[in-house]
Amino acid sequence: MDLNTISEVIRRPSARPGADWREGDAWLAGGTWLFSVEQPDLRRLIDLTALRWAPLVPSSAGLEIGATCTIRDVYAFTPPDHWIAGGLFATSCEAFLSSFKVWNAATVGGNICMSLPAGPMITLAVSLEARYELWASDGSVRAVDAADFVTGDHQNILAPGEILRRVHIPARALEKRTAHRRFTLTRLGRSTVFLIGTQTPGTSDLLLTVTAGTTRPVRIAFDAMPDARSLGRRIDAIPADIWFADPNGTPGHRHHLTRHFAEDIRRELMAGSPA
Ligand SMILES: Cc1cc2nc3c(=O)[nH]c(=O)nc-3n(C[C@H](O)[C@H](O)[C@H](O)COP(=O)(O)OP(=O)(O)OC[C@H]3O[C@@H](n4cnc5c(N)ncnc54)[C@H](O)[C@@H]3O)c2cc1C
């Protein structure tokens, strides 16, 4: 849609944009959300894709994903064989309610910064214990745990003018076993719940990430595989006010599904873990 309040688009920002950030500015990534609704408060768009950040940089330390990497590029990425969690990349892209047009343009950073409950790049990053590099408008840099970034539905910790620059996924998380479950009302619909469990090979630990059913991601860690009752108790301990309500499900429905699928994931990972 035409954004008729925009009077300027910065097509070639400086390599460290943000210094002249002002009210009414917005970072432009794929634009799939920015151009999908009216933006009456915006006056200027600053195009981050012009900065040509490297999309995907694998190394022995893990994987760095530039914030402007598209969903299409994540889907096309072939991880090395020993990154056995690598199947989660395609799974998470497929969790997008979107047409091919959205996949081609939408970026990882845009999805994370939108901070919607059903943001699949958020699920991916939190489950793989990612850290985000954030650039503030005063030139300072901070790194935060992906689990602490989204604070609610369409809310996050970014300060005005701050940029998500890159996502770093550690190699040890990419080497974990995984299991996931997702529920949607229609086959290609928005996620009602999306859960991912990971386990360090050779151990019986469990890291469970609960998203889409809650307004912010919830990560639950166990040093050893819990029994069904202990796992259920931890799901029940998720604060009542963060279960999400929208046309895809009531908070009660989402709580029920999360309990059910968490147990599925527990059983799946337990089946392949050391006795
Ligand atoms: C048909 C359709 C289906 C969709 N399905 C889903 C879905 O299933 N799940 C979902 O979560 N969303 C969905 N969306 C919403 C949106 O398109 C996606 O969240 C998408 O990933 C946003 O990425 P983008 O690069 O297009 O962001 P943009 O639209 O360019 O930006 C989104 C917001 O993030 C900010 N931003 C972007 N990049 C950065 C950065 N690096 N640092 C700081 N701020 C930044 C922008 O200023 C803006 O406020 C859908 C949209 C459409 C039109």
Beta bridge partners of 177: 199
Tell me the percentage of the chain whose pLDDT exceeds 90: 88
Per-residue pLDDT at 164 exceeds 80 = yes
| Confidence bin at 96 (pLDDT 50/70/90) | confident
Closest CA to 152 of 192, 117, 122: 117
What is the distance between the alpha carbons of residues 119 and 114, in angstroms, rounded to a whole number? 8
State pLDDT tens for residues 109-149: 999 999 999 999 999 999 999 999 999 999 999 999 999 99
- pLDDT, position 270: 94
- pLDDT, position 3: 86
- pLDDT, position 101: 79
Per-residue pLDDT at 18 exceeds 90 = no
Same domain, 227 and 168: no
Check pocket membership of 31 for ligand 1, CB cut-off 6 A: yes
- pLDDT, position 188: 79
Same domain, 95 and 201: no
Flag whether 8 is in a domain. Answer: no
Give the sheet arrangement for strand 177-184, strand by strand. 177-184, 191-199, 206-211, 218-222
Give the least confident one: 73-87, 88-102, 138-152. 88-102
Contact between residue 126 and residue 91 where contact means Cβ atoms under 8 Å apart: no
pTM above 0.75, yes or no: yes
Q: What share of the chain is helix, strand, coil (3-state, %, to 5)?
A: 30, 30, 40
Flag whether 16 is in a domain. Answer: no
Flag whether 209 is in a domain. Answer: yes
Same domain, 185 and 262: yes
What is the distance between the alpha carbons of residues 208 and 140, in angstroms, rounded to a whole number? 32
- Mean pLDDT of the 235-248 span: 97
Probe residue for ligand 1, chosen from 111, 186, 193, 194 as the CB with the greatest number of ligand atoms within 8 Å: 111
- pLDDT, position 275: 54
Flag whether 253 is in a domain. Answer: yes
Q: Which of 149, 172, 195 is the last residue of a domain?
A: 172
Residue 262 class from Cβ within 10 Å (0-12 exposed, 13-18 middle, 19+ buried)?
A: buried
| Confidence bin at 253 (pLDDT 50/70/90) | very high
> Mean pLDDT over all residues of the chain?
95
Q: Which of 153, 172, 191 is the last residue of a domain?
A: 172
CATH number at residue 139: 3.30.465.10
Check pocket membership of 110 for ligand 1, CB cut-off 6 A: yes
Flag whether 12 is in a domain. Answer: no
Same domain, 56 and 166: yes
What is the distance between the alpha carbons of residues 93 and 24, in angstroms, rounded to a whole number? 31
What's the 263 CA to ligand 1 centre distance in angstroms? 31
- pLDDT, position 55: 98
- Mean pLDDT of the 195-219 span: 97
Flag whether 139 is in a domain. Answer: yes
Same domain, 149 and 202: no
Q: What is the 3-state secondary structure (H, E, C) of 127-172?
A: HCCCEEEEECCCCCEEEEEHHHCEEECCEECCCCCCEEEEEEEEHH
The residue whose two tokens read 């943001």 is: 119
Beta bridge partners of 70: 107
Per-residue pLDDT at 28 exceeds 80 = yes
Per-residue pLDDT at 272 exceeds 80 = no
Flag whether 110 is in a domain. Answer: yes
Closest atom, ligand 1, to C-alpha of 119? 11
Question: One-letter amino acid identity for 165?
Answer: R
Which pair of tokens denotes residue 153? 């539905």
| Confidence bin at 273 (pLDDT 50/70/90) | low
- Mean pLDDT of the 226-235 span: 98
What is the distance between the alpha carbons of residues 39 and 34, in angstroms, rounded to a whole number? 7
Contacts of 129 (CB under 8 A, 6+ apart): 145, 146, 169, 170, 172, 173, 207
Tell me the percentage of the chain whose pLDDT exceeds 70: 99
Check pocket membership of 126 for ligand 1, CB cut-off 6 A: no
| Neighbour count for residue 119 (Cβ, 10 Å) | 26
Structural domains of the chain, count: 2
Q: List, as own/partner pairs, every contact residues 194-197 make where C-beta atoms lie below 8 angstroms and the sequence separation is at least 24, other chains included.
A: 194/95, 194/118, 194/120, 194/123, 195/258, 195/261, 195/262, 195/265, 196/88, 196/123, 196/124, 196/127, 196/265, 197/262, 197/265, 197/266, 197/268, 197/269
CATH number at residue 196: 3.30.390.50
Give the least confident one: 28-32, 45-49, 63-67, 97-101. 97-101
What's the 266 CA to ligand 1 centre distance in angstroms? 32
Flag whether 18 is in a domain. Answer: no
- Residue 239: domain span: 177-271
Which pair of tokens denotes residue 250? 């009531």
Q: Which of 118, 137, 172 is the last residue of a domain?
A: 172
What's the 85 CA to ligand 1 centre distance in angstroms? 25
Per-residue pLDDT at 197 exceeds 70 = yes
